[in-house]
Every structure is written in structure tokens, then in C-alpha cells.
Amino acid sequence: MKPFFLTLVALLATFPLFAQETPDNEVKAYTGEVYVEHQGSYTPSFKIDGSKARVRNVILLIGDGMGQGAVNAGMYANGGELTLTNLRTIGYVRTQSADNFTTDSAASGTAYATGEKTNNGYVGMNTERERIPDIPEILSPLGYACGVLSTDDLNGATPAAFFAHQSARGEKDAIWADLPGSSLTFASAGTQAVFEGQPLSTQDAIRSRFSVVYSPDDPAVASSRRLLYLPETVSLERGNYLPATTEMAIEYLAARGKKGFFLMVEGARIDKYEHGNEFDGTVKEMLDFDKAVEAAVRFAERDGHTLVIISADHETGGTILSRATPDEGYAAGVFASKGHTPMMVPLFAYGPRSREFSCVQENSDVARKILQLLGGKK
């Protein structure tokens, strides 16, 4: 018995050495923290939620890179609440692209915009590099007014997927040049400077089809038939641009769609802060995005025929909330990656027929269901 006992002691003595071994991460994870002011949240009545009423309008809000980590970080930093997490219809979305287990924003944006999976880097094109009709192209001939709004540049992959057809997301000029031929009635993204940096021929083509304004108070807005509104900045200094322009876009499209409207709103910069492993920026962008969600849900509540869907194109950063004191607006987190991850992303929905999204689904399924609800064939 004695040798066995000694062996056991020897084994136990070495165990902590093994237990302390940690994986050698390539990524040097940044741990950040933030204090934010409680911005509150909005809870709708749920009277229309999940009803069988006809869906006239769809507002799709995409938080770029908004995985569970970003939602948790934003919610607990904001006293434990978000308008997003007040909703009752919850699902999950799988984000894989046609050629990569971990998608980029181009392939996932295209899936949300067309109902078809494609390769990373492709915008509005299938794997054979053929144009795929996007939701605005399918719905506008039916009498719907369609719009996109983003805190990215207009040539950013997510807004671009709703109007452009290019097999290289980096072809920024070509993406801008696709705008005049698009089916959009409303677009707001990027900046005045980016627009003015486009070739004059592109600017002229856009101006021939859209009224281009640099302020939401420009008198040209009311009389215009198609609008491109370009803010001065889309960085965090933009103030309430995203929620205010969400309201503006809803009003603009509701007045022009004979049958209804479709609006895509992107909170683009959650992803950008996660790429930089900047926890405070991730939380602030998440909270700004939630205000846009609130604007959409408030409209849906008043309207009764509007379905609001909120999800993400992919997770970014392997973002984890590690600690929080919700009452103090304090949250701390850590990142496992500087890139995208293949994790499923949460989906929230509010309005008639919302329950159809309460399942585990592909990103491409979300677009197909939207088109079915609005009577567009796919």
C-alpha cells in the first residue's frame, strides 16, 4: 500500500501544474471597462406581437457584430435593460457563408438582402458571380418604398448588399456607381466627404436620381421623391444621428410607399470596436443601436402593421461580459478574437407574425420570410 500511496501523493502534487497551464492564445485579449449613463428602455404593449394581422411594413435592424456578448454588455451597462431585451419573440441566426464557416459582412449582408448564401466578399452576387435580386428590387415594383440607413459608409458591405452587385466588397467606387440604378427610395450612410470623393460622373448620376441633402432639415427633403441624406460624420461624435434618422426614414418611406415600406437600419460600428477590442466603444455603440431599435418599436406599436426584426450579420471579437454593476452603469469585458467568430447570433422581433422568426434559422431564411410576408416572390 505504501508505494501506491506515494505514487498518489506524487500525482496529486503535479496536478496543479497541469491545471495552471493555459492555452497559448495568439490574440492578446484586451480587457476593458466602461461607465455609461442609464438611458432607459421602452417596453411596448405586446398587443400586436405575434398577431396574424397583415404585415405592411418591415424594419430590419442589423447590429454589425452584435453577438450575445455585445447584447449582454450593453444591457448590464444600461442598468440591466434594453428595448431589445424587453421584446418577447426571440430566435437565433446561423451566419455561415457559402464558402467559409466564418462569414464576413458582405456574404451575410447579401444573405439578409437576397435570401441566398454567397461567398465572403461578394455583395449582391451569388457564388457564380451572377446578380441576385435584392429585397428593394423585388419589393419596389410591388409598390413598396425601400430604404437603407447605416453608421458605415454607404459602400460598407451591409448597406451595399441592399443596392449593389459587386463580387469584390472593396470596389468602393463601383458600389457607389450602383446606387443610381438601385431600387432605393431612401438612403443615409457615410459622409458628405466620402460622397464628394466619388468621381464626378458618379455624383452626377446619383444627383439625377436622388435629392442629395446634408441636413435632415433641408427643405428639399419634403418635396423629394428619392433621398440621399449624408451626415458630416458617422463616428461616435454623430450624436443622435442613428435613432433620429431611423425616425426620419420611417416617416419618409411611410409617406411614399403605396403598399408599405421596407427599411434596413445598420448599427455598423459595434463590429468596428470589437475588431479593435475596445470594450467601451462596443458598449456605447450597442446603446446607440438600441435607441434606433426603440424608434422602430415605437412606430410598430403605433402602426399595428409593422414587423420589426433585430439581429446581427455575425458575432465579432468573441466578446464576453466578465463583470458588471448595473446600478452604476459599470461593465467590464474581455475579447477572445480580433476578427469575426462563427457563433450564432440572437434575433429579436416585435409585431404581427413575429413568431415566424422564433426559431434557429439561417440568415438567408430571414430574408425569405420577410419577402413571403410582404408578398414578394423568391
Name which of 12, 127, 30 is nearest 332 in CA terms.
30
Give the nearer residue to Zn ion in terms of CB position, either 124 or 317: 317
Based on the shown chain and the rule CB under 5 A, indicate whether residue 278 belongs to the binding site for Zn ion.
no
Percent helix / strand / coil, the chain, rounded to 5:
40, 20, 40
Taking the complex as a whole, how short is the minimal distance between the CB of residue 339 and Zn ion, in angstroms?
7
Taking the complex as a whole, how short is the minimal distance between the CB of residue 219 and Zn ion, in angstroms?
38
Report d(CA 184, CA 66) in Å as an integer.
25
Give the nearer residue to Zn ion in terms of CB position, either 146 or 234: 234
Based on the shown chain and the rule CB under 5 A, indicate whether residue 315 belongs to the binding site for Zn ion.
no
Question: Which helix (H) or strand (E) element contains residue 287?
Answer: helix 279-303
Taking the complex as a whole, how short is the minimal distance between the CB of residue 314 and Zn ion, in angstroms?
7
Taking the complex as a whole, how short is the minimal distance between the CB of residue 65 and Zn ion, in angstroms?
6
Report the 10 Å Cβ neighbour count for 170.
12
Based on the shown chain and the rule CB under 5 A, indicate whether residue 313 belongs to the binding site for Zn ion.
no
**Candidates 73-81, 106-114, 231-239, 269-277; binding stretch for Zn ion (CB under 5 A):** 269-277
Give the nearer residue to Zn ion in terms of CB position, either 134 or 271: 271
Residue 33: Cβ-neighbour burial (10 angstroms; 0-12, 13-18, 19+): middle
Report d(CA 167, CA 157) in Å as an integer.
11
Taking the complex as a whole, how short is the minimal distance between the CB of residue 105 and Zn ion, in angstroms?
6
Give the nearer residue to Zn ion in terms of CB position, either 340 or 369: 340
Size of the site for Zn ion (CB under 5 A): 1
Q: Which three cell numbers stand for residue 132?
A: 441576385
**271, 313, 315, 356: which one contacts Zn ion (CB under 5 A)?**
271
Give the nearer residue to Zn ion in terms of CB position, either 284 or 353: 284
Give the nearer residue to Zn ion in terms of CB position, either 81 or 315: 315
Kindly report the backbone phi and psi dihedral angles of residue 22, in degrees, each rounded to the nearest multiple of 5, phi listed first. Answer: -115, 150
Q: Are 71 and 344 in contact (CB under 8 A)?
A: no
Taking the complex as a whole, how short is the minimal distance between the CB of residue 236 and Zn ion, in angstroms?
17
Residue 22 in 3-state DSSP? coil
Report d(CA 321, CA 75) in Å as an integer.
10
Distance of CA 163 to the CA centre of its chain: 16
Taking the complex as a whole, how short is the minimal distance between the CB of residue 157 and Zn ion, in angstroms?
9
Closest chain position to Zn ion (CB):
271
Rule CB under 5 A: which residues touch Zn ion?
271
